[in-house]
Amino acid sequence: MSNQSSVPGSNGGSGNNGGSNRIIKVILLGDASVGKTSIRSQYIHHLFSNAYKATIGGDYLTTKVNDTILQIWDTAGQERFNSISRTFYRGSDIAIVVHDITNSNSFHNLNKWIQNFLENCHVATPSIMIVGNKLDKIDLRQVSLRQAREFGFSNLNLSNLIDDINQDIIEISAKNYIDVEKLFLRVSELGLKKLNENTTLLTFDNIDITTDNSNNSVQKKYNCC
């Protein structure tokens, strides 16, 4: 796996440019201080900082994973930035909705983040992953993995958006880099699956349009698909 970072840029969704750039737009959502920025920073740069710095609005970095390019957006978790952040939801193929396993309020707010995402992404069937961060603070746990998976299983809004409860609702530690790479490998897998499902190949064979000027008739032969 090779990683490539980019300067924050404009919004964009998934695409297939000649088969070489299979871009998946991924967005990190969740309350402030759950660790969204740290998750992305650890995965791409292998850097972690205990100092908290609020994200304002949103920005993205890109990284290549197997046959896909992930465009990973980090967004603000603070309420006052929500109206700005929602503009970055558009065209997102996959949402990683993050909660802090030591903060039950962040878990209870998952539904709000998911609803906001579904209302603003303008994608018919996006994929959603639910991630509990700060597994390194397991002694302070307030939310269990079982609770998170029960939430995903019982939430009707997620019935077609979570592909596999066991693979798409997980726990990680950004600080200790526990299962962070596993998370993005799964994101790449979901993204590639989505691209393959959405790609329609049209082939036209043996199209012959012949004009016979002698009798002013037009003969058309269609043999395609």
What are 171-197's pLDDT values in tens digits?
999 999 999 999 999 999 999 998 887
**72 has pLDDT over 90:** yes
Confirm whether 39 is domain-assigned. yes
Written as one letter, the residue type at 113 is W
| 70 found inside a domain | yes
Instruction: State which residues form the domain around 41.
Output: 15-199
Assign residue 39 the CATH number of its domain. Answer: 3.40.50.300
In a domain, 22, yes or no: yes
Q: Is residue 223 part of a domain?
A: no
Task: Identify whether 172 is part of a domain.
Answer: yes
What are the tens digits of pLDDT across the range 207-220? 343 444 544 444 44
Q: Cα–Cα distance between 155 and 147 in angstroms, integer?
A: 12
Answer whether 95's CB lies under 8 Å from 129's CB: yes
Judge whether 46 lies within some domain: yes
- Which spans in 50-98 are helix H? 82-85
Domain count, the chain: 1
